[in-house]
Amino acid sequence: KVDVCSTGVIFFELLFGKRPFGHGKTQETLLKEAVANGSPFALVIPAAPKTAVSTDAKQFMTRLLTEDREQRPDVIEAYYDAYIRPTNKTGRGSTAGAANTAPGGGTS
């Protein structure tokens, strides 16, 4: 589930052009702030990015960056997320021809 979180970080950076946690801060500073506050990092999604970001994309990213590892999707769950594999057969993420193929070539 760590890889899924890392994917969420990369996805966030691609969409918003900055890190989701502590943009412009060192890891040492982030850790000190988290310890001082007694709480983990809070995910804040920018309200008005330079380009339009769909609500579905924001929700998917939020799921990937869920702090609680038990609540975060695993790789297979993320792969089959409705944002990545919408149920319709048109447009982005069409599953035509690969509907039941899991990562690594297996079938579901």
Residue 6 has a pLDDT of 87
Q: How confident is the model at residue 73 (pLDDT cuts 50, 70, 90)?
A: very high
Render pLDDT for 47-69 as a digit per residue (tens, 0 to 9). Answer: 765 668 888 888 999 999 888 88
d(CA 106, CA 9) in angstroms, rounded, equals: 27
Binned at pLDDT 50, 70 and 90, residue 96 comes out as very low
CB 65 within 8 A of CB 20: yes
Instruction: Indicate the residue type of 79.
Output: Y
Cβ atoms of residues 108 and 102 within 8 Å: yes
Instruction: Compute φ and ψ for 74, nearest 5 degrees.
Output: -85, 180
pTM above threshold 0.85: no
How is residue 105 annotated by DSSP? Answer: G
